[in-house]
A and B are shown apart, each in its own frame.
Chain A
Amino acid sequence: MRYGYLAPLAAIAVVGCANTTSAEGPSSTSASGQKAEKVSFNENPYPSTYKPYPGQPTAIRNVTIFDGEGGQIDNGVVFFSDGKITAVGDASTPIPADITVIDGQGKFVTPGIIDIHSHLGDYPSPGVQAHSDGNEATSPVTADVWAEHSVWPQDPGFSRALANGGITSLQILPGSANLFGGRSVTLKNVPARTMQAMKFPDAPYGLKMACGENPKRVYGSRNQKPASRMGNLAVNRQTWARAAEYKARWDEYEKKGGTPPARDIGMDTLKGALEGKIQIHNHCYRADEMAIVIDMAKEFGYTVSTFHHAVESYKIADLLRENNICSAVWADWWGFKMESYDGIPENAAIIQNAGACTIIHSDDQDQIQRLNQEAAKALGDGRRMGFNISDATAISWLTYNPAKAMGVADRTGSLKPGKMADVVLWNANPLSVYARPEKVWVDGAMLYDANDPKRRPVSDFELGQPGEGDTK
C-alpha cells in the first residue's frame, strides 16, 4: 500500500524540476533564467499541524489484551512511552521501574477504536441547517470538494466518540448525494481549534463515491442526470474517462514539458485515485451494484478500498475476497430505504467467514459511541449461525481492518511496538454491553479518564450551557 502521496511532496508549490529536458518548457523560467521550469502543485496545501500531546510513560499490567490484529493475550502487559507502543506481551514483559503502572485486573485493553465512516464536524451537533456541510448537492460530480473544508472542530460529537466509544482516529467523508462526493480526511480524535490540528499526519486521502438510490434520487428529482442506476454508471464512466485524459495530459507534460495542462481541482483528485494515491471509499448497498463497480474499477484501472454500508456484501463475500475489497458495514441496519431491504444482522459474520475484509462503521453520531457494541452484536449473530469467530477477530473489525482500508495501518490500528500509542483501557470486555472506556490515550497522551472530570473535553459550543462538563 502506498502512503507516500503527501509526505514526499509536502512542501512543493511551484518548484523547479531538474529533469526538465524539453525545449518547449513552460513559459516560466527560473530565477537564473537558464532552464525552463515545470509547473507543479502543492499536493498538501492544508497540512496537518497535529502534534501529540505530552504523556507519561505508562504500563498496564495484569490485563486482557486484544491487539487489534486478531491476537489475545490474557494477563498481559502493554507498555508505551514517547507516544509510541514500546512493548506488548505476557506477564513476563519487563516494566521499567520509574513509570506509571496501572493494574488492569478484570479490565481489557484494545487499540484506539477507528471509525472509517463518520460525518462528525461536517454534520455537527446541533444539526441545524446552518451546520449542514456534508453534501455539496449541487452536481452529481463534485470531486473537487474536500470534507476537511467543512469540519467544525467544535462538534460535541468528537468528545462523545472519545469518551464513550474510545475513538482515536476517524475518517470524515462527504455525504452520498453525489456520485463523486469529494475527498475524505482522516483525523486524530483530539479536541482542537482548527481542523489542521486534528488532521492525521500523512494519512492518504480518500475519495467518496456513491452508488444507487441517493444520487439518482437527488438529481432525478430535479430532472437532471442521473435519474437511474444506468444514469449513475454513465456519468461515472464519462467522468473516469475524462480523468484518464487529464492524467494522460499531465503525464505527457511531465515527460515532455510544453504548455502545462489547465488545472482542474476535481480532476486532481481523480488523477490521484487512478494513480493509487487516493483510496476509493464507495457507498454501495446492493450486491449487484458492487459487482458492477468492481468491473468499472477494472475498466478504468483503479481499485476500490472499501464498499461502505454494503448491506448485501454477504451475498458476494467471495467476490469481495477475490478482489481484496473491504466491506464497512453496520451490525443490523435495514429497512430504511429500498436498497437496505435485504440487510441482515449476520452480514459482517458471513463476510468474515468467507475470508473477506470486515469493518464495522457508524455513519452516525450516536453509534460511533458504541462501535464495540455493534461489533459484539454482529459477533453474536455469527456465532449463533455456527461460525467460529474469536472476540479478538471482532475487535479487528474496529481497529486494524479500518486502519488498513484507510492506509494508516503502519502507524495505528494495532498494539505493535513502534506504532502510535492509541490505546483504550476498558472497564470490562468491550464486547459486553456493560463495558465502558475507563481511559483513552491518543499518541500516548491521556485525553479521557472516567475517574477524572478534568480529563473530559468540553467543546466551545457546550461552555456555559446547561449540562456543561457533565458525564454524557
Chain B
Amino acid sequence: MIKSLFSASVAAAALLASPATAQTVAITGGKVVIGDGSAPIEGGTVVLRDGKVVAAGSGIAVPAGAQVVDASGRWVTPGLFAGFTRLGLVEVEAVNETNDASASRGEFSAAIDVTPAINPKVSAVAVNRAAGITRAVVAPIAPAAIFAGMGAVIDLGDDYNAVTKGRAFQFVELGETGSAKAGGSRASAFLEFRNALIEARALANGQRGLPAHPHDALLNRQDAAALVPVVNGEMRLLVHVERAADILNVLKLREEFPALKIVLVGVSEGWLVADQIAAAGIPVIASALNDLPSEFEKTAATQSNIGRMKRAGVTVAIGMINDSDAHKLHYSPQYAGNLVALQRVPGASGLSWDQAFAAISSGPAQALGIDAMLGSLKPGRAGDVVIWDGDPLELSSAPVAVMIDGVQQPLDNRQARLRDRYRTPQEGALPKAYDR
C-alpha cells in the first residue's frame, strides 16, 4: 500500500505518482458526496480502478495494492457537470475569429455538429477544470434558424480527447429567440419545427423505401437527416423555452411526435406548470437564479423556480443558459449554494444541500440519459473526482485535486500564471516579461 499525503499547499504537485488509469486508487478519510442526492458520508472511501468508480461510501475496504490518498478533513465529490454551456467553442467571446458557438451566416442548422469546433485547449477549459468542473454539456448557438444543431458532452481533461459523447442531442429555440429566428412569431417557430420534423420523418420513410423526401422540402438534406434520430426518439431534443405557455406547447408536441425525447432548457416560468412537466416525465436543465422579468417571457421568474419544480417531482439540473456559458461555469456551485440558502428565506423554495449538489453533478447526466456513465460516484461511473478544501458550494472553497477518468489533472492555467507574475505588481531587476 502506498500512502500519499497532500495538502492545499501542494495541490498542484503530483497527487498520484503515475496517473495510469490501470491503477487502483483509494481516497480515504474524506467527507464523501456521491452526487445522487444522498447525504454526504463522513470518513468515506472512494475506490477507483481503470478510470472508473468501483465503490464509494463508508465501510469500504481498501483493495490490496491500491494507492491510498488521504483526504482527511477534505470533501470528496464527483466532478461537477456543467449543465448547459458553450465551453470549448470560445476563446474570447467578442473576438469573432475565436468564437465558434454560432454560424449565423452558414447554410446549415440542425446538421451542425459542434464536435469539430471543440478546442480542449481554450483557456476556459483549464480555468474551469481548476474550479472542479470535469464534464460539460456543450450546445451550439442557433444560427439563422430555430435549430442550433447537435451538441456534445465533453470532459475537461488536459488532453485532446475531449468529446465523451458527440451528437449527444439536438438543440432548438422555441421561445422569444425561436420566434425571432423563425421570422417574428412563435406560431412561425412552431410551424418551422413541425415542418422540419415532418420532413425528417419523410426522409426516414424514404430510406425505408416509403414515400421519399419531398421535392419542395424547405430543409436541405443534411438538416433533415440530422433530425431523423430526433423524430425517432434516438437522440434527445433540448428545447429552450422560458414562459409557461411555451412550455405547455412544447409538452404538446409529443402528441404529434410521440417518440420525442424532450429536455427543457431555461424554463424560468417552469414553476407555474411544474405539475404538467412532472407528469410528462420531462427533465429540465434550468437557469438557477433568474428572478427578473428581463424579457417578457420571464415575467414570473423567481429563484424559487427550481425548488418548486423539484417539489413537484421534476428532474432538475442547473445550466448556464446564455449566462457566462463559455467562461464562468464555476458559477454553477455558487448558484447551487444560493438554492440551499433559499431554504431559510420565508416563502421561498430552495433545494436541500444534497439536492443542490446533485443538480450540478448527476442532474445534467440524468437529463441527457447518461447517468449510468457519468455524474456521480456510484459504481461504474467515470472516475471524475474532486477533492476540495471545504464545502464545494461555499464561496471560499476550492479544489485541491481533480481527477478525470481516474487521471489526476493539472490545476495550472493562464490566470494562475498571471496571478503569480503580478503577486507583487512592481517590477524587479528585470521587466515582468522575465518572471515566469
Closest Cβ neighbor of B123 among chain A residues: A335
B216 close to A (CB within 8 Å): no
Contact yes or no, A470 B300, CB < 8 A: yes
**Is A451's beta carbon under 8 Å from chain B?**
yes
Contacts A156-B292, A157-B292, A466-B269 known; A431 to B425 CB distance under 8 Å?
no
What total count of A-B pairs have CB within 8 Å? 157
Asked if A433 and B398 make an inter-chain contact with CB atoms under 8 angstroms apart, the answer reads no
Question: Do the beta carbons of A366 and B425 come within 8 Å of each other?
Answer: no
Pick the residue among A127, A336, A369 that contacts B92 (CB under 8 A).
A336
Structural contact, A373 and B292, CB atoms closer than 8 A = no
From B95, B244, B293, B425, A126 is in contact (CB under 8 Å) with B293
Please measure, in the bound complex, the distance between the C-alpha atom of A338 and the C-alpha atom of B98, giving whole angstroms: 10
Contact with A along B92-127 (1 / 0, CB 8 A): 111100000000000000000000000000011000
Instruction: Check A385–B419 contact: CB distance below 8 A.
Output: yes
A156 to chain B, nearest CB (A): 6
A472 to B95, CA, bound (A): 35
Contact A384 B344 (CB under 8 A): no
Interface string of B123-142 (1 = CB under 8 A from A): 11000000000000000000
- Check A433–B395 contact: CB distance below 8 A: yes
Q: Pick the contact of A433: B91, B324, B393 (CB < 8 A).
A: B393
| B18 on the A face (CB < 8 A) | no
**Binary per-residue interface labels of chain B (248-289) against chain A in the complex, 1 for a CB within 8 Å, 0 otherwise:** 000000000000000000000100100000000000000001
Bound-state Cα–Cα, A341 to B302, Å = 32
Q: Please tell me if the beta carbons of B294 and A336 are within 8 angstroms of each other in the complex.
A: no
Q: How far is the CA of A363 from the CA of B243 in the complex (A)?
A: 26
Q: For residue B8, which residues in chain A have a CB less than 8 angstroms away from its CB?
A: 384
Decide if B94 touches A338 in the complex (CB within 8 Å): yes
Chain B nearest Cβ from A163, distance in angstroms? 9
Instruction: Mark each residue of chain A from 348 to 387: 1 if its CB lies under 8 Å from any CB of chain B, else 0.
Output: 0010001000000000011001100100110110011100
- Contact A383–B396 (Cβ < 8 Å): yes
Task: Please tell me if the beta carbons of A434 and B294 are within 8 angstroms of each other in the complex.
Answer: no
Q: Give min CB distance, B292 to chain A, whole Å.
A: 5
Q: Does A125 lie within 8 Å of B338, measured CB to CB?
A: no
* A128 CA / B289 CA spacing, docked (Å): 20
Give complex CA distance A344, B422 in Å.
11
Q: A125-B294, A433-B395 are in contact. Are A467 and B341 (CB under 8 A)?
A: no
- What residues of chain B lie closer than 8 Å to A334, measured between beta carbons? 327, 415
Q: How far is the CA of A316 from the CA of B293 in the complex (A)?
A: 39
In the bound complex, residues from chain B placing their C-beta under 8 Å from that of A333 are 324, 328
Q: Is the CB of A433 within 8 A of B292?
A: no
Q: Does B303 contact A (CB under 8 A)?
A: yes
Whether a CB of chain A sits under 8 angstroms from the CB of B241 is no
The answer to whether A451 and B272 touch across the interface, beta carbons within 8 angstroms, is no
Which of these, A317, A337, A427, contacts B94 with CB under 8 Å? A337
* Residue in B closest to A316 when the chains form the complex, CB atoms: B425
**In the complex the two chains form, is B304's CB within 8 Å of A471's CB?**
yes
Task: Report if A350-B395 is in contact (Cβ < 8 Å); known contacts: A335-B91, A338-B92.
Answer: no
Question: What interface size band does chain B fall in?
Answer: 35 or more
Given A336-B92, A338-B92, A373-B395, decide whether A471 and B345 contact each other with a Cβ distance below 8 A: yes
Instruction: Confirm or deny: B195 has a beta carbon within 8 angstroms of a beta carbon on chain A.
Output: no
Q: Within 8 Å of chain B (Cβ to Cβ): is A346?
A: yes
Contacts A164-B291, A434-B337, A466-B244 known; A336 to B396 CB distance under 8 Å? no
Q: Is B425 in contact with A466, judged by CB distance below 8 angstroms?
A: no
Question: Chain B residues with Cβ under 8 A from A332's Cβ?
Answer: 328, 330
B425 A317 Cβ-Cβ under 8 A: yes
Contact across chains for A450 and B345 when beta carbons are under 8 A apart: yes
Give Cα A370–Cα B341 distance, bound, in whole angstroms.
12
Q: Is A461 interfacial (CB 8 A cutoff)?
A: yes
Cβ of B346 under 8 Å from chain A: yes
B7 interface hit (Cβ, 8 Å): no
Q: Is the CB of B292 within 8 A of A465?
A: no
Query: A160 at the A/B interface (Cβ < 8 Å)?
Result: yes
Which residue of chain B is the closest to A437 with respect to CB atoms?
B345
Q: Is the interface of A mostly helix, strand, loop or mixed?
A: loop
Known contacts A160-B292, A470-B302; A346 and B419 CB within 8 A of each other: yes
In chain A between 65 and 119, which residues have their CB closer than 8 angstroms to a CB of chain B? none
Nearest CB on A from B226, distance (A) = 30
Flag whether B418 is at the interface (Cβ < 8 A).
yes
Q: Are B422 and A377 interface neighbours, CB within 8 A?
A: no
**Chain A minimum-CB-distance residue to B415:** A344
**Alpha-carbon distance between A345 and B396 when the two chains are bound, in angstroms:** 12
C-alpha spacing A436/B340, complex, angstroms: 11
User: Is the CB–CB distance between A436 and B341 below 8 Å?
Assistant: yes
A336–B92 alpha-carbon span in the complex (Å): 5
Residue A315 CB within 8 A of the other chain: yes
Task: Produce 1/0 per residue, A400-444, CB < 8 A to B.
Answer: 000000000000000000000000000110011111100000000
A453 contacts chain B at the CB level, 8 A cutoff: yes
Residues of B within 8 A of A376 (CB): 395-396
Q: Does A307 contact B (CB under 8 A)?
A: no
Contact A467 B299 (CB under 8 A): yes
Interfacial chain B residues near A289, Cβ < 8 Å: none
How many angstroms between the C-alpha atoms of A345 and B290 in the bound complex?
Answer: 23
Cβ contact within 8 Å between B92 and A126: no
B348 interface residue per 8 A CB criterion: yes
A205: interface (CB < 8 Å):
no
Interface flags for A17-39 (1: CB within 8 Å of B; 0: not) read 00000000000000000000000
In contact, B394 and A433 (Cβ under 8 angstroms): yes
**Would you give the 0/1 interface string for B286-314, flagging 1 where the beta carbon is closer than 8 Å to chain A?**
00011111111011111110000000000
Q: Which residues of B contact A156 (CB under 8 A)?
A: 292-293
Give chain A interface residues in 116-163, CB to chain B under 8 Å: 125-128, 156-157, 160
Cβ of A341: which chain B residues have Cβ within 8 Å of it?
92
A127 lies within 8 A of B95 (CB): no
Is the Cβ of B296 less than 8 Å from the Cβ of A472? Answer: no
A268 beta carbon closer than 8 Å to chain B: no
Q: In the complex, A470→B268 CA distance in Å?
A: 14
Contact assessment for B398 and A344 in the assembled complex, using a CB-CB cutoff below 8 Å:
no
How many angstroms from the CA of A436 to the CA of B91 in the assembled complex? 35
- The answer to whether A160 and B291 touch (CB under 8 A), given A432-B395, A433-B340, A433-B394, is yes
Shortest Cβ distance from residue A397 to the other chain B in the assembled complex, whole angstroms: 14
Which B residues are in CB contact (< 8 Å) with A370?
Answer: 338
Chain B residues, CB < 8 A from A213: 94
A465 to chain B, nearest CB (A): 5
Residues in chain A near residue B291, CB distance under 8 A: 160, 164, 369, 472
Chain A min CB distance to B322 (Å): 12
CB nearest to B94 among chain A residues: A337
Q: How far is the CB of B298 from chain A (nearest CB, A)?
A: 8
Q: Is the CB of A471 within 8 A of B326?
A: no
Q: Are A433 and B338 in contact (CB under 8 A)?
A: yes
- B299 close to A433 (CB less than 8 A): no
Assembled-state Cα–Cα distance A435/B425 (Å): 34
Could you show 5 A-B contacts with beta carbons less than 8 Å apart?
Answer: A128-B295, A336-B327, A428-B344, A470-B300, A471-B303
What residues of chain B have their CB less than 8 Å away from a CB belonging to chain A?
8, 90-95, 123-124, 244, 269, 272, 289-296, 298-304, 324, 326-328, 330, 334, 337-338, 340-342, 344-348, 393-398, 415, 418-419, 422-423, 425-426, 432
- 19 more CB-based (< 8 A) A-B contacts, given A384-B398, A451-B346: A156-B292, A157-B292, A318-B425, A319-B425, A336-B92, A337-B93, A350-B423, A354-B425, A377-B334, A384-B8, A385-B419, A431-B395, A433-B334, A433-B338, A462-B293, A470-B347, A472-B291, A472-B292, A472-B302
Closest A-B pairs by Cβ, 10 of them: A433-B337, A467-B300, A380-B396, A376-B395, A466-B300, A337-B94, A471-B348, A335-B327, A472-B291, A471-B347
